[in-house]
């Protein structure tokens, strides 16, 4: 049976370290990082995500400012809020919860956030820095979290074959770029599979480290992974449960069967999700330090 990659435990370790760091910094600066969280509309999943992010802020000593707006808000009104936050020297990080309501251009909103306050790591400037290996980048939180888990559970990744299933701008593409860098916990041969791949298993069976981020429930089966691989499951899919009228969360990996074959695997829930929020906190603290000229 595989070792379970416990995102909850790892996330707590990261948050505890950040809390101690911020307590020390507060004694020196009398300042705390400020994260502005913008939520548009009433999407239940987005509300839960925002609640968890605000809770994490309170736990480690980050001040959160909430901007909750109706789905009827116009694009220009939202852009005006972002512009105000960009120009507010007290705000260190800006997070606009995605997805946005129809009629608002997501790309335009992401591009409007100052790269120095883009703690989600979605701005083209930060993505470009990830591609060239610039360590001042704010990495997108989910691939950043996956990378931290890989570093913890795979002592030496040099020359290993990483296969990423999925090519989204939020996970797949930055994940591939992170793992190909000549850095600790990376320096890998990287293959990216997607919907045009005629036989995904041809590639996944070669993976020493398999990262599933495709958004298809339990798509990765046991016969698609090799013995001893490490599997990071990014998928979050809600499907009907065995109990009538109820649902359950599953990943992109058939956890029950794949876990019998691989060396280590992250569960859903309790794997990548908690670490993603921890990386958001890490980026917020990093932004605070950079903006205040503090050596990390």
Residues serving a catalytic function are: 53, 97, 120
Residue 65 pairs with which residues in a beta bridge? 36
Whole-number Å distance between alpha carbons of 189 and 80: 43
- Classified as helix, coil or strand, 70 is coil
- Is the peptide bond between 99 and the residue preceding it cis, with omega within 30 degrees of 0? yes
Angle between helices 141-153 and 272-291 (to 10 degrees): 110
Whole-number Å distance between alpha carbons of 210 and 191: 10
Contact indicator for 53, 25 with CB cutoff of 8 Å: no
Token pair recorded at residue 146: 């996956």
Contact indicator for 231, 219 with CB cutoff of 8 Å: no
Q: Which of 199, 202, 256 is nearest to 231 (CA)?
A: 256
Classify strands 237-240 and 247-250 as parallel, antiparallel or unpaired.
antiparallel
């Amino acid at each position: 049976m595989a070792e379970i990659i416990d995102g909850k435990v790892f996330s707590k370790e990261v948050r505890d370290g950040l809390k101690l760091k911020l307590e020390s910094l507060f004694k020196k600066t009398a300042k705390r990082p400020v994260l502005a969280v913008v939520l548009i509309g009433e999407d239940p999943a987005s509300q839960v995500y925002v609640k968890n992010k605000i809770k994490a802020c309170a736990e480690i000593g980050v001040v959160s400012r909430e901007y909750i707006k109706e789905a009827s808000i116009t694009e220009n009104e939202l852009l005006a809020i972002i512009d105000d936050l960009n120009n507010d020297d007290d705000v260190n990080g800006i997070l606009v919860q995605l997805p946005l309501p129809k009629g608002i251009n997501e790309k335009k909103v992401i591009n409007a956030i100052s790269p120095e306050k883009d703690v989600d790591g979605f701005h083209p400037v930060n993505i470009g820095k990830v591609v060239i290996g610039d360590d001042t980048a704010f990495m997108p939180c989910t691939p950043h979290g996956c990378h931290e888990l890989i570093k913890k559970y795979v002592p030496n990744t040099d020359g290993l074959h990483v296969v990423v299933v999925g090519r989204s701008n939020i996970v797949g593409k930055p994940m591939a770029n992170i793992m190909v860098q000549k850095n600790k916990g990376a320096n890998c041969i990287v293959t990216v599979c997607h919907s045009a791949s005629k036989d995904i298993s041809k590639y996944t069976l070669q993976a020493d480290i398999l990262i599933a981020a495709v958004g298809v429930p339990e798509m990765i089966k046991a016969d698609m992974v090799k013995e001893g691989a490490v599997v990071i499951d990014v998928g979050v899919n809600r499907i009907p449960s065995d109990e009538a009228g109820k649902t359950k969360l599953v990943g992109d990996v058939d956890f029950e069967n794949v876990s019998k074959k691989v060396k280590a695997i992250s569960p859903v829930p309790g794997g990548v999700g908690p670490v993603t929020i921890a990386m958001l906190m890490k980026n917020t603290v990093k932004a605070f330090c950079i903006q205040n000229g503090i050596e990390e």
